[in-house]
């Protein structure tokens, strides 16, 4: 498509979460001029490309890892393939929840998704996947959080729990005082903090220390759910990743049988946990955890998993579109915003499975898929 070409998106443009009852949430058309959205027909436009269907803001994968695979950092070519997989699946805004690779060069590529980086994981020594994280002790936590807050795009990622070899089960990684100081320092520098957490005991100390988000959050219980709701702490459940727990448990049960049993129990109640969080009013957003052991491009499947957990379709869609973009401080389908959108053949509100098969992907005003 030439730079001067105008796009005309016609059909049903879902600019907000409601079903059409509220004025302005569903439009019949929009235009893309010079890479920007407008709801006014541009006067004198001649070179027009028509795209028909159901349009949504570019999807959000709020937990993925571009530049990372199961063994650590990958080269730029592999990072490019990962980003393209997300783009072609309609995920045009990624929150990279920890990567040892430098992917800043992606920001100069107009054909690749926008990335909000959380810097590199910060973990306790020998308490995370090898080659992934800064592995440090509590006395260094504040300094490393400050460094990653400056390196990232407004987020810092902690590893809140992992296998404790002394107990043979999941265990909290950080003392309360150290994590309180670290979160306060991140906030002072204008960054939000999130943490990888599977276990039950990890959650309350982090929330009480002022954390902004928890990844996975499989350990939520009736005791901690009200605390999350009261503090407004978001979760990114990554259900497509939690589906791998039985396989992980099988691989580790010979050495850590207590941990393996724990992982199976967390997996068994995963949908119940997410639905209980939703019912309590906890903000929930989509994330796949792609880039470690999972392929990129699974955000549509994650939305379907949220629906399977009992979240209404409208809110599951919002977790990947309107709500997620607002949470991350990025615009959706608004006047003058960058034209990052996905068009489908059918109404995703009727069947979210259509999210896995975009008809057209428009990024920065260009048709890229």
Per the CB < 8 A criterion, the answer to whether 110 and 342 are in contact is no
Average pLDDT over residues 57-79: 97
Does the pLDDT value for residue 24 go beyond 60? no
pLDDT for the residue 293? 87
Rounded CA separation 114/183 (Å) = 26
Rounded CA separation 51/41 (Å) = 15
Does the pLDDT value for residue 22 go beyond 70? no
Average pLDDT over residues 128-149: 98
Question: Percent of the chain at pLDDT above 90?
Answer: 94
Pairing of strands 360-363, 341-344: antiparallel
191 burial (CB, 10 Å; 0-12 / 13-18 / 19+) is buried
Does the pLDDT value for residue 195 go beyond 70? yes
At 15, the pLDDT band (50, 70, 90 cuts) reads very high
Does the pLDDT value for residue 157 go beyond 60? yes
Average pLDDT over residues 355-369: 97
Query: What is the DSSP annotation of 7-19?
Result: EEEEEEEE-SSS-
The pLDDT tens digits for 230-247 are 999 999 999 999 999 999
At 47, the pLDDT band (50, 70, 90 cuts) reads confident
Per the CB < 8 A criterion, the answer to whether 106 and 87 are in contact is no
Rounded CA separation 118/347 (Å) = 33
Residue whose C-alpha is closest to residue 121's, from 68, 171, 166: 68
Tokens 């009992």 locate to 310
Residues with Cβ within 8 Å of 364's Cβ and at least 6 positions away in sequence, in order, are 35, 110, 338, 339, 340
Residue whose C-alpha is closest to residue 60's, from 279, 274, 298, 233: 298
Does the pLDDT value for residue 21 go beyond 70? no
Does the pLDDT value for residue 3 go beyond 50? no
Average pLDDT over residues 104-118: 97
CA angle 328, 6, 37 (to 5 degrees): 25
Rounded CA separation 201/221 (Å) = 10
């Amino acid at each position: 498509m030439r730079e001067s070409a105008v796009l005309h998106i016609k059909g049903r443009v879902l600019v907000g979460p409601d079903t059409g009852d509220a004025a302005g949430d569903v439009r019949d058309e929009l235009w893309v001029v010079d890479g920007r959205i407008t709801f006014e027909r541009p006067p004198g436009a001649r070179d027009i490309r028509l795209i028909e269907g159901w349009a949504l803001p570019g999807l959000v994968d709020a937990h993925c890892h571009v530049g990372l695979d199961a063994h650590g950092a990958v080269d730029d070519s592999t990072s490019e393939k990962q980003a393209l997989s997300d783009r072609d699946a309609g995920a045009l805004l990624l929150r990279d929840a920890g990567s040892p690779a430098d992917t800043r060069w992606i920001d100069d590529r107009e054909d690749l998704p926008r990335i909000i980086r959380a810097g590199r994981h910060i973990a306790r020594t020998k308490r995370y996947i090898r080659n992934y994280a800064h592995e440090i002790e509590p006395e260094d936590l504040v300094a490393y959080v400050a460094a990653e807050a400056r390196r990232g795009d407004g987020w810092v990622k902690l590893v809140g729990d992992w296998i404790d070899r002394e107990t043979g089960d999941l265990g909290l990684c950080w003392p309360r005082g150290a994590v309180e100081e670290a979160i306060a320092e991140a906030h002072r520098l204008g960054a939000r903090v999130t943490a990888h957490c599977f276990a039950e005991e990890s959650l309350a100390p982090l929330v009480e220390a002022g954390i902004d988000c928890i990844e996975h959050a499989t350990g939520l219980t009736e005791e901690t759910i009200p605390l999350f709701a009261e503090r407004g702490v978001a979760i990114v459940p990554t259900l497509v990743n939690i589906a791998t727990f039985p396989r992980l448990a099988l691989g580790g049960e010979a050495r850590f049988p207590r941990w393996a049993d724990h992982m199976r129990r967390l997996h068994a109640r995963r949908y119940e946990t997410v639905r209980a969080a939703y019912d309590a009013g906890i903000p929930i957003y989509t994330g796949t955890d792609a880039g470690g052991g999972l392929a990129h491009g699974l955000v549509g499947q994650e939305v379907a998993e949220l629906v399977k957990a009992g979240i209404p379709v409208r809110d599951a869609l919002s977790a990947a579109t309107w709500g997620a973009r607002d949470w991350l401080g990025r615009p959706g389908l608004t006047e003058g915003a960058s034209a990052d959108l996905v068009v489908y053949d059918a109404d995703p509100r009727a069947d979210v499975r259509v999210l896995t098969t975009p008809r057209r992907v428009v990024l920065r005003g260009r048709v890229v898929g």
